[in-house]
Amino acid sequence: MANRTDPAAKSIRGTNPQNLVEKILRSKIYQNTYWKEQCFGLTAETLVDKAMELDHLGGTHGGNRKPTPFMCLVMKMLQIQPEKEIVIEFIKNDDYKYVRILGAFYLRLTGTDVDVYRYLEPLYNDYRKLRQKLPEGKFSLTHVDEVIDELLTKDYSCDIALPRIKKRWTLETLGSLEPRRSVLEDDFEEEEEKEENDQLDGLEEEAHEKDYYRGRSPARERDRDRRRDRDRYRERDYDRDYDRDYDRERGRGRDRDRDRERDRDRDRDRDRDRDRDRYRLRDEKDYGRDRERDREWEGRERERRDRDRGRRRSHSRSRSRSKDRKDREGGEHRKRHARSSTSPRRRDGAEENGTREEPKKKKERKEKKEDGTDHPDPEIAEANRLRASLGLKPLK
Amino acid sequence: MIEVVLNDRLGKKVRVKCNEDDTIGDLKKLVAAQTGTRSDKIRIQKWYNVYKDHITLKDYEIHDGMGLELYYN
């Protein structure tokens, strides 16, 4: 009897509101002592008192998946179904951040798409810290705006599958919402103008790295910000330049000079070591970087070749060109695999040291080892591909 | 490389190829990829021993062809 939904409650998304939480988790909550003791006979008012006592959020934790009090209160709200005004009050209140998050979570589960965006987006400006309980049982630090971002972008949070809502741009095109204005927009515009000026002075590299660091320094590293910064910056200027140069690169006209300059100063050490390791996994647009690196290597190889003045000059050039092509094609595919971006690099290193036959053999052998996805047995190759996508090493 | 069989006694029987030095967490990810459930919803047991995520298969002495029980959280 205590677990029945309020008979006056409306059905949410076509079902009993409590069914938004799936069966196993629901049973776990009903068996929980917090639910049985504290959540019995709660009304909207007394619920607020309980919510004010919250001190962490989270889903289930531990070996037997014990739900947190936060989960129990969400369940209680689904059961009694408070009115929209009450939920909005929860969200608007400034004093108790956990009450805010509770209201936001409930609205995300039960509200309409427009409501969700309208009431949750202002919470992006709330930077307060929150304590989150991880599934292992430990606590971790998170922030209000991070949680809101998770609610708005991901479809799973706190062990509950969040109902699907329309994407923001769909609602914008429908006219139900206005385009998003971020509070930080003015700051961004200033920074962009400053960097445009820097770029015109020919300090492309530095500006690009500054862009990257800027994305990391304010408050905390957020993939969202970094990606947005980089995309915005890149799309405007960077890609355009690269595309233009890339096409011309076949003739190797003016790039050689630019390569040499860049090679000598910073990129050899900085880019290669730091960038490769750090940005390898996170870069979505690795393409630009791979190409840049390849061109660096070609520049260096060219230098060495010229120095040696061997008869192999023409051969190596054709070799590097074909290899470059393979890298370019493979690069697109390989950029999705965690470890693969090291293989073109190592292949280059091996080749430059040995004779022509040895590097060929080493290259083939290394290809087999690195990826694991070119295993002769197709089943194993597929298994390795899956493992690579999950971030695991290939099968032995 | 070993192959482990996971059975949930409700119709889902899954054979998974993995390394011996993979952890249970990795095994859960592989199972999740094959069955379609989420990896954190899966619980792997042997009788009443719930297997923990951070321990490798080798340490649990899980050999090739061994059967494990698949439960859900």
- pLDDT tens digits for B31-72? 999 999 888 889 999 999 999 989 999 999 999 999 999 999
Q: What ipTM was estimated for this complex?
A: 0.81
Q: What is the mean pLDDT of residues A360-370?
A: 50
A229 vs A7 pLDDT, higher one: A7
CB distance B17–A390 less than 8 Å?
A: no
Residue A306 pLDDT level (bands cut at 50, 70, 90)? low
Look over chain A and give the mean of its residue pLDDT values, rounded to a whole number.
Answer: 69
Angle made by CA atoms A55, A58, A61, in degrees to the nearest 5: 115
CB distance A386–B52 less than 8 Å?
A: no
Q: Is the pLDDT of residue A52 over 80?
A: yes
CB distance B30–A390 less than 8 Å?
A: yes
Look over chain B and give the mean of its residue pLDDT values, rounded to a whole number.
Answer: 92
Q: How close, in Å, is residue B45 to chain A by CA atoms?
A: 11
Q: How close, in Å, is residue A60 to chain B by CA atoms?
A: 9
Q: Which residues of B touch A (CB under 8 A)?
A: 1, 17-19, 22, 26, 29-30, 33, 38, 40-41, 50, 52-53, 72-73
How many contiguous H segments (helices) and E segments (strands) does chain B have?
A: 1, 5
Q: Which of A63, A386, A395 minimises the CB distance to B19?
A: A395
- Is the separation of the CB atoms in A98 and A57 below 8 Å? yes
Nearest Cα residue in chain A from B45:
A63
Range from A153-162, A253-262, A365-374 that averages highest in pLDDT: A153-162
* CB contacts, 8 Å: B1 with chain A: 380, 395-396
Distances (CA, A) of A37 to A22, A66, A164: 22, 15, 33
**Helical (H) or strand (E) element with A106:** helix A97-110
- Is the separation of the CB atoms in A75 and A21 below 8 Å? yes
- % of chain A exceeding 90 in pLDDT: 15
Q: Which residues of A touch B (CB under 8 A)?
A: 24-25, 60, 63-65, 135-136, 156, 159, 379-380, 383, 386-387, 390, 392-393, 395-396
Q: Which of A63, A379, A393 minimises the CB distance to B50?
A: A63
Cβ-proximal residues to B44 (8 Å cutoff; 6+ apart), any chain: B6, B24, B27, B28, B31, B50, B51, B68, B69, B70, B71
Q: What is the pLDDT of residues A108-140, one digit of tens each?
A: 999 888 888 988 888 888 889 999 999 888 999
pTM of the complete model beyond 0.80: no
